[in-house]
Structure 1
Amino acid sequence: RPLRDDPPAESRRSRLWRHGFNLLPAYRGTGARVDHIAADWRYVRIRLPLNWRTRNAVGTIFGGSVYGAIDPVYMMMLRRVLGDGFTVWDKSAALEFIEPGRDTLYAEFELPRSETEAIRETLDPGESTDREYLVSLVDESGTVHAACEKTLYVRRDG
């Protein structure tokens, strides 16, 4: 699907987080940039341009940049939304390359309120769960170039 025309508004605080995130050397090295973080951290959009930093030997976006661009996002979203009473870690990922990236790619991450409410309601202190999330990298027309299924470990601290 094409990108959302009406992403939820950023706040001053989430805008500062976005700028800080883009300055982190590990994320900056992927060549991607976080474009938008909703004030409540339930929506994030990233952009991965094809340029000299992200281009591989055959002229398309390097697979490492594709994965690196999306790797930390759901973990950060869950950590921010759930708060200090939870531990969140990336557990696994399965990435499928569907079509070579020859233009700028985008990914939109959404974390529904029902998802975080389910985590809060089902986990007692010391209990954990694995949660799965799917994110796709698309071009401006909505063509999917890569899809990643992320599994995150979430534990309610006791």
Structure 2
Amino acid sequence: MRWRFNLHPAYRGTGARITFIASDWSEVRLRLPLSWRTRNIVGTIFGGSLYAALDPIYMIQLMRGLGPDFIVWDKAATIRFKRPGRSTLHATFRMPSAEVESVRKDVLEQGKIERTYSVVLVDGSGLVHAECEKVISLRRA
């Protein structure tokens, strides 16, 4: 699945690559290098690449965890650029099974809910370069 994801034109264009997907999609890791494809006019990683690399992951994790009886949509996003990306950046998305079950329970009880998730892009030494917050809308199909 990781290879198929990386070859998809929309994701491939971000310059990022998925490096790991847990069999249950509870964890996804990605790498975003500084390269000719991601470099902006001032020589750092383009902000669009930073966001686009992160954009679909939480939605897909929830879709995979909840199955076809639920509708999952990205509703809003905020990204905060903390420092320029001058090297390869990494992000780790975690969606524990307890969170998926909590979402399932809340949707079944309330009909429609929103959840907010955060992820950071860090360099090799752990310095945060960008913080992204995603608001996901969920309901029964």
User: Normalized against structure 2, the TM-score is what?
Assistant: 0.97
Q: How does 1:81-120 map to 2 (within 5 A)?
A: 81-120=65-104
Tell me which residue corresponds to 2:53: 69
Tell me which residue corresponds to 1:42: 26
* Counterpart residue identity of residue 56, structure 2: P
Whether the 8 Å contact between 1:47 and 1:107 is mirrored in structure 2 is yes
- Aligned CA RMSD, in angstroms, stands at 1.1
Whether the 8 Å contact between 1:125 and 1:156 is mirrored in structure 2 is no
Structure 2 unaligned runs (5+)? Answer: none
Whether the 8 Å contact between 1:128 and 1:156 is mirrored in structure 2 is yes
Deviation per residue, 1:93-140 (Å, 9 max, x gap)? 000000000000000000022211111212228811001000000011
- The alignment-based identity, stated in percent, is 57
Any runs of at least 4 consecutive aligned residues in structure 1 with deviations exceeding 4 A, and if so which?
none
* Counterpart residue identity of residue 75, structure 2: K
Question: Structure 1 residue 148 and structure 2 residue 124: aligned?
Answer: no
Whether the 8 Å contact between 1:126 and 1:156 is mirrored in structure 2 is no
Tell me which residue corresponds to 1:20: 4
Whether the 8 Å contact between 1:88 and 1:155 is mirrored in structure 2 is yes
Whether the 8 Å contact between 2:106 and 2:113 is mirrored in structure 1 is no
Q: Between Structure 1 and Structure 2, how many residues are aligned?
A: 141
Change (3 A) 1:104 1:19: same
Question: Structure 1 residue 29 and structure 2 residue 29: aligned?
Answer: no
Structure 1 unaligned runs (5+)? Answer: 1-16
What CA distance in whole angstroms lies between the structure 2 residues aligned with 1:39 and 1:106?
20
